[in-house]
Amino acid sequence: MFDTIFSGGTVYNGAGTPPMLQDIGVRDGRLAAIGDLGTAAARQRLDVTGLAVTPGFIDLHTHSDFTLVVDGRAQSQVHQGVTTEVVGQCGISCAPLRRSGEVGEMSAGLPAEAARGRQWRTFGEYLAVLAASPLGVNVAAFVGHGTVHRAVLGDALHAGEPDDIARMKRLVEEALDEGAAGFSSGLEYWPGILSSPEHLVPLCEAAAQRGKLYSTHVRNRDRHYDLGFGEAISAARQSGARLQISHIQTKFGAPAYAGEHTLELIAAARRHGMDIAFDVIPHDWNNTSVIAILPKWVREGGTQATLERLKDPAVRQKVKDNPAPMLLIVKARQWSKVKLLNARANRASIGTDFAEIGRQRGVDPYDALMDMLIEEGEDATRLMWATQSFSEQEIEMFMRDSACAVISDTAALAPDGALADQLFSLSGYGWAARFLQHYVRNRQVMSMAEAIRRITALPASRLKLGDRGRLQVGYWADVTVFNPQQIESRFTVSAPRAYPGGIVHVMVNGALAMRDGSRTDRDAGVVLRDFQA
């Protein structure tokens, strides 16, 4: 007797091989049989004839650390077939903390009280809070360099002395031993921007010694892209860590050959034995916080100190004159390609470009963004924008590398409840659907079988998850069923909270989280801690 049988589907097992018409039997949360189960008994039999049956999608790069504590349903992810998320990316994690309840920027602008009174300090305590939450998806968590830096140095304007780095390494080691899946850095953000390789290599060594992954948002992806990617490769080489380069596509301001050159750098390192892979966001919009455009000296002392400085006209002029802002599209003043994505005090302007926002306010768009940061107050860190900074041609070029995964770079959200007003990225409600619709079905960058591998078995292998990411007997029953002809993203810049079309069933650990296109009340996700050495 099976709990569930998926009958007559086109089964993509995740390995990248051609699909087969097969039945899948699920029992006690795991895949119990694959083949002809036409005469087998089951408590429920779902006819999936004509539909693609795949492993549940694994999102290798998200920022749901705090949103999953606030609302673990992960509606935006489950509705597009995601069954596993990897949080703690770009150097930002929810732990370890200097003191319990101090969530800071890791909360993405949500107040600490949104965690419903639950507090933690160590990484293990954070994972325990997550594990006690109803989760719509499985969760693996990285420990972030920026968070570790704050735990040791607070908002100090330096990267740390040798004894500080030793303390940071001990915190990273503790987090990894308590269940962290890897170590991440965000070198384009505060406080990662303060660091250099000698600060990072010891922390990467902690991951290498445990066989866990080092993922990095590199320091630069435009004018100095080669230095940024070279630094990442150097840190991995010196530490012996396996390297995952996050959202590798280069940004506005990079030379036309930057992507090709980056692949050459990686190929050379691979020839010398390095384990390097990377991932891409499946659209040409770059999403980040508005406050990240500010130079590091403006950020010293925390959010309130930053906003007070922005009231000074002299400070504003220095910000405008900054020769190396995070986004060169802003330096080039191409404001029509920069759109407001998320705000609280300025909600009415969401979806509007900054050329128009500046015109409406009668000020320079640069002044408009600084005014808006002040108006957001304590929520300034959640003021987000989207810039059309990526090249579709380059995205496709990176996708053709067999080690390129596809990610959301988003947070698990919901259009209702405590997260109804929250937004983290443009594609948060449709990244997987856009990948399968735009790049696979329409652009035919790769086969559907290979595309499924990129968002299932490939990320599972990077994490060293031994029993997820494939449809294989004995594996956990994380299963996504969709219509390959109808899968489509429906988000837009002005209306980003739109669920995709074409998703039929989603199963997490043997429980149906979606059935016949509708979300059920089952939240069967778990915190993942078992990563093979």
Q: Which of 120-134, 393-407, 484-498 has the lowest mean pLDDT?
A: 484-498
Residue 116 has pLDDT above 90, yes or no: no
Domain check: are 273 and 134 in the same one?
Answer: yes
| Cβ density class 289-312: b for 16+ within 10 Å, e for less | bbbbbbbeebbeeebeebbebbee
Give the model's confidence band at 246: pLDDT under 50 very low, under 70 low, under 90 confident, else very high.
very high
pLDDT confidence of residue 530: 84
In this structure, the number of other CB atoms found within 10 A of the CB of residue 41 comes to: 10
* pLDDT tens-digit readout, 306-350: 999 999 999 999 999 998 888 999 999 999 999 998 888 998 998
- Are 142 and 86 in contact by the 8 Å Cβ rule? The answer is yes
Domain check: are 133 and 248 in the same one?
Answer: yes
Q: How far is CA 375 from CA 108, 296, 299, 346, in A?
A: 17, 21, 17, 8
CA 318 distance to own-chain centroid? 32
Total domains present in the chain: 3
Domain check: are 198 and 86 in the same one?
Answer: yes
Whether 163 is in a domain gets the answer yes
- Are 374 and 344 in contact by the 8 Å Cβ rule? The answer is no
% of the chain surpassing 90 pLDDT: 85
* pLDDT tens-digit readout, 63-103: 999 999 999 999 999 999 999 999 999 999 999 998 876 76
How far, in Å, CA of 411 to CA of 429, rounded?
9
Domain check: are 6 and 155 in the same one?
Answer: no
Closest CA to 342 of 421, 450, 267: 421
Whether 440 is in a domain gets the answer no
Domain check: are 280 and 233 in the same one?
Answer: yes
Residue 106 has pLDDT above 70, yes or no: no
State which of 387, 417, 438 marks the end of a domain. 387
Domain check: are 259 and 158 in the same one?
Answer: yes
Whether 447 is in a domain gets the answer no
pLDDT confidence of residue 270: 98
% of the chain surpassing 70 pLDDT: 97
Give the model's confidence band at 113: pLDDT under 50 very low, under 70 low, under 90 confident, else very high.
low
What interhelical angle do 197-209 and 225-239 show, nearest 10? 50
pLDDT confidence of residue 287: 85
In this structure, the number of other CB atoms found within 10 A of the CB of residue 518 comes to: 9
pLDDT confidence of residue 496: 86
Domain check: are 279 and 305 in the same one?
Answer: no
Whether 449 is in a domain gets the answer no
Largest interatomic CA distance in the chain: 78
Domain check: are 352 and 380 in the same one?
Answer: yes
Whether 10 is in a domain gets the answer yes
Closest CA to 266 of 252, 253, 278: 278
Domain that holds residue 331: 290-387
Give the model's confidence band at 495: pLDDT under 50 very low, under 70 low, under 90 confident, else very high.
confident
Domain check: are 81 and 205 in the same one?
Answer: yes
* pLDDT tens-digit readout, 179-215: 999 999 999 988 999 999 999 999 999 999 999 999 9
Domain check: are 70 and 168 in the same one?
Answer: yes
State which of 387, 411, 443 marks the end of a domain. 387
Closest CA to 510 of 104, 138, 68, 15: 138
What phi and psi, each to the nearest 5 degrees, are found at residue 526? -135, 160
Whether 434 is in a domain gets the answer no
Residue 112 has pLDDT above 70, yes or no: no
State which of 360, 387, 414 marks the end of a domain. 387
Give the model's confidence band at 107: pLDDT under 50 very low, under 70 low, under 90 confident, else very high.
low
Whether 452 is in a domain gets the answer no
DSSP string covering 81-107: TEEEEEE--TT--S---SSTT--GGGG
Domain check: are 302 and 267 in the same one?
Answer: no
Task: Quote the pTM value.
Answer: 0.93
pLDDT confidence of residue 492: 84
pLDDT confidence of residue 110: 64
Give the model's confidence band at 525: pLDDT under 50 very low, under 70 low, under 90 confident, else very high.
very high
Tell me if residue 308 falls in helix, strand or coil.
Answer: helix
The domain that contains 510 carries what CATH number?
2.30.40.10
* pLDDT tens-digit readout, 24-64: 999 999 999 999 999 999 999 999 999 999 999 999 999 99
Residue 359 has pLDDT above 90, yes or no: yes
Tell me if residue 61 falls in helix, strand or coil.
Answer: coil
pLDDT confidence of residue 51: 98
How far, in Å, CA of 177 to CA of 123, rounded?
9
- Write down the mean pLDDT value for the chain: 94
Domain check: are 181 and 325 in the same one?
Answer: no
Outline where 141-300 has alpha helix (H).
Answer: 145-153, 162-177, 197-209, 225-239, 258-271, 296-299
* DSSP code for 501: B
Whether 156 is in a domain gets the answer yes
How far, in Å, CA of 527 to CA of 127, rounded?
7
Closest CA to 491 of 448, 432, 419: 432
Extract the tokens encoding 423.
Answer: 């937004």
Residue 301 carries which side chain, given as an amino acid letter? Answer: G
Q: How far is CA 12 from CA 78, 122, 193, 445, 527, in A?
A: 19, 40, 42, 18, 26
Give the model's confidence band at 533: pLDDT under 50 very low, under 70 low, under 90 confident, else very high.
low
pLDDT confidence of residue 498: 94
- Are 139 and 95 in contact by the 8 Å Cβ rule? The answer is no
The domain that contains 247 carries what CATH number?
3.20.20.140
- Are 141 and 120 in contact by the 8 Å Cβ rule? The answer is no
